[in-house]
Every structure is written in C-alpha cells, then in structure tokens.
Amino acid sequence: MPYVDGYVLPVPKKNLKAYTRMARLGEKMWRKHGALDYKECIGDDLKPGWGAQFPKMLKLKAGETVVFSYILYKSRAHRDLVNKRVMQDMAKKPKFKDMPFDMKRMLVGGFKVVAGQKF
C-alpha cells in the first residue's frame, strides 16, 4: 500500500529562497534513495472561506506563509528504508547552520494512501 510522509510548516517569507534551496537538496536526496515522489508547495490560497485554515491553525506570524510538503513511497517499510538511507547519507554532509523555519512549529506525520493513483 502506498505511503506518504506529510509536512506542514510556517516559513518566513524572507526565508523562502533559502527554504527552496534546502527543499531542492532534499528532493535530490530522497529521490536518490528511492522516494517515488517529492513535492514542496508554498501557500497561495490560504483563506478559501471554508474549513479550518492553515494560517489560524499554525498561528502564522506577520510575514510568514505556509509550506505543505509530501514524500511518496511504495509502502511504510519502503519509507522506513528510504529514510534510514537518507539519514545515513545526511550524516556525511555539512549541516545547515540556520534552518529557514521554526522546526518546533512543523507538523509531521506518516499516512497510508487510501485513494488516488495506483503505483
């Protein structure tokens, strides 16, 4: 069964360029180790007029926007293997000095895919 890791995080708009650079490196790393898909999406229509809205739920501060990201895998076991390989590979690389977002406010979770394209 396909599996997705999902992320929602507030990012200061002034840091979007740095975040995008980091996201592109992340995509290369996860795809290198077997992820089927990798998307980083910057908020555009964050007040659609219905439902709980991301800005309110994330308690966005002035000058921040929302980034929604996901990584697709063949299965949870495949996710665990890919993430293990990514973490091993990242341990060999230089670390980011300053993260372009507040990691304490990032939402993260793993999800079973129940509808959508078959892989």
Could you give the domains of the chain? 3-112 (3.30.70.100)
Q: Whole-model pTM?
A: 0.90
Contacts of 97 (CB under 8 A, 6+ apart): none
Nearest to 100 by CA among 72, 70, 63: 63
Residue pLDDT, tens place only, 84-105: 999 999 888 766 678 889 889 9
pLDDT at 118 over 80: no
Contacts of 74 (CB under 8 A, 6+ apart): 2, 3, 36, 119
Residue pLDDT, tens place only, 20-74: 999 999 999 999 999 999 999 999 999 888 998 999 999 999 999 999 999 999 9
Contacts of 84 (CB under 8 A, 6+ apart): none
Continuous segment of H or E residues that includes residue 39: strand 37-42
